[in-house]
Homo-oligomer: A and B are copies of this chain.
Amino acid sequence: MAGNSFGKLFTLTSYGESHGPALGGVIDGCPAGIELDLEAIQQELDRRKPGQSSIVTQRKEPDTVKFYSGIFEGKTTGMSIGFVIENTNQKSHDYTHIKDSYRPSHADYVYDKKYGFRDYRGGGRSSARETACRVVAGAIAKQMIKGVEIIAYVSGVGTLKISKPYTELDLTQIESNIVRCPDADMAAKMETYIKQVRGKGDTVGGIVSCVIKNVPVGLGEPVFDKLHAELGKAMLSINAVKGFEYGSGFEGSTMFGSQHNDAFNNDGTTKTNFSGGIQGGISNGMDIYFNVAFKPVATLIQKYETIDKEGNSVEMQGKGRHDPCVVPRAVPIVEAMAALVIADFWLQNKVAHL
């Protein structure tokens, strides 16, 4: 059934395949009167777009967003906001070799089984290209929740990991390198590593960490729509994500209550923040922070054995233009999804009282 909408009050409904004429969507529920900086939206798209650096896919797409409604005299009108991003560099011929075969750890097989057939060009709807629409909507959400800061960065590439917590990092340095890692030394190592992996036609996974500052107390809804539950769903809905943890995360499962409890200061802030800014599913005003694990991209520039539709073994050769490691480009996507979640709960919280 319909699964292309995200959010309850601030909603994005998106469409578009990797190699169709265009991607696009509708943002519905954006409040009226928000002054939009359209350039800032395009800049977010530019952070995600292919071809932006030497360690990402070399597909060339301008990824220019055009808005068709819901904005008048520079402000949101409260009406639904329609937008379109044209595909300009589809190269359909790159993908005909996968028409009748199933690439390992791709969605080819399950789409065919579920729907009876599939748009096989570049992965069709299952391509991460759809996340461009998320970035557009997230960029508007960011402008709606002024004052909230959402900062994502790469904290792991393969086994290379930043060991310091975000509080000890210089988050202003994230965009100073193409990996989007705030630790310059580690960023250099990661860049070298990604290039090595790419050189072998291989790919590698990684971790994006995110911190959200200045969230007001009270966002999140008992009992199913907990703030971290929606953040988790948002992150897990991004292509290639395998795990989500917030606050103390998996490490928290090894701790004692006497260590883990966050004692209050007299102003309601807490001395520690193992809770990760969320208690009982509701923001408590402290920083929200979380990690998102990405698997290695499934497309390798290597020969491999797989099967065709009839179950016959076939040999294939990976080609096309793909990311050797998705995390640098995933940074703005993680931020966008976080912004959508915060914006949605921001609005939801307005009806907690009359």
Contacts and interface: CB of A to CB of B under 8 A. Distances in A.
A225 B3 contact: yes
Interface stretch (A169-177, A178-186, A235-243): A235-243
Contact of A281 (B20, B237, B351): B237
Interface stretch (A38-46, A47-55, A57-65, A266-274): A266-274
A243 to B, nearest CB: 3
B248 A295 contact: yes
A296 interface: yes
B69 A22 contact: yes
Interface in A296-344: 296-300, 302, 304-307, 311-313
Given A229-B236, A293-B250, A351-B31, A243 B242 contact: no
B217 A110 contact: yes
Contacts of A17: 69, 72, 79
A34 interface: yes
Given A117-B77, A249-B293, A68 B16 contact: yes
27 contacts: A2-B10, A13-B28, A22-B82, A23-B82, A24-B24, A24-B26, A29-B351, A72-B119, A104-B262, A105-B261, A106-B279, A109-B264, A110-B279, A110-B282, A114-B352, A125-B222, A126-B280, A156-B254, A203-B258, A205-B253, A224-B237, A232-B233, A242-B249, A250-B291, A252-B296, A255-B295, A266-B312
B107 A280 contact: yes
Number of copies: 4
Contact of A15 (B82, B106, B243): B82
A337 to B, nearest CB: 10
Interface size class of A (residues with CB under 8 A): 35 or more
List of 8 A-B pairs having minimum Cβ-Cβ separation, nearest first:
A107-B280, A3-B221, A243-B245, A15-B82, A2-B29, A3-B225, A203-B257, A2-B28
Contacts of A233: 224, 229-230, 232-233, 236
A10 B253 CA distance: 31
Given A15-B68, A156-B253, A253-B156, A244 B247 contact: no
Given A125-B79, A233-B232, A261-B104, A15 B256 contact: no
Contacts of A13: 5, 13, 26, 28, 80
A295 B253 contact: yes
Contacts of A250: 207, 242-243, 245, 250, 291, 293
Interface string A93-114: 0000000001011110111011
Contacts of A306: 263-264
Contacts of A6: 224
Contact of A232 (B8, B124, B236): B236
Given A3-B222, A257-B296, 8 more contacts: A2-B10, A110-B218, A126-B222, A126-B280, A130-B223, A232-B233, A243-B243, A252-B296
A187 interface: no
